Amino acid sequence: MNGIVLDVNMSGYLLLFPRMFEALGLFEVWASYSIELLRVADLGLPDEASDRLVWNLCRSRNLILLTDNRNNDGPDSLEATLAEQTEFDFLPVLTIANKQKFHRERSYALTASSSLLDVLADIARGEYRGSGRLYIPKKPGH
């Protein structure tokens, strides 16, 4: 994985994740991954680019896409794209399960940030490829 792309709905959290890792005392762990946080615009795409276009570009560049909870609202939606295009070796899409709670509740944001680091470690070990979408924070036992 070469980086994490925060979709348009998550781009405002670009600086928040490193602060959460610092608050957890896990910034060194995060830094050891050498993963760049990017926005859709950093890929050269406009904010209104379709989910399909963003996902395909992330896929081709070995980037993880981080989203909020998205709906299946058409043939170019992320859900429709994943249903059509998930293959065994693709990196998963990571989805913050409850963006409003992440924004409002520090304890939830810390739990989600810790879960994100856990998932990134698992992905680095080769887990979750081809799994489509993973929700952050992970539910116990997943």
Write out the two tokens for 59. Answer: 């896929």
Task: Report the CATH number that the domain containing residue 74 is assigned in CATH.
Answer: 3.40.50
Q: How many domains does the chain have?
A: 1
- The whole-chain average pLDDT of the chain stands at 88
Q: Specify the pLDDT at position 130.
A: 85
Residue numbers of the domain that contains 42:
3-97+105-136
pLDDT in tens, 49-98: 998 899 989 999 999 999 986 666 788 877 877 778 766 678 999 999 99
Contact 110, 116 (CB under 8 A): no
Pick from 86, 107, 85, 88: nearest CA to 98: 107
Reported pTM:
0.90
Residue 85 is assigned to a structural domain of this protein: yes
Residue 76 is assigned to a structural domain of this protein: yes
Residue 142 is assigned to a structural domain of this protein: no
Q: Specify the pLDDT at position 139.
A: 72
Q: Specify the pLDDT at position 124.
A: 92
Residue 37 to residues 16, 29, 92: CA-CA distances in angstroms? 11, 15, 16
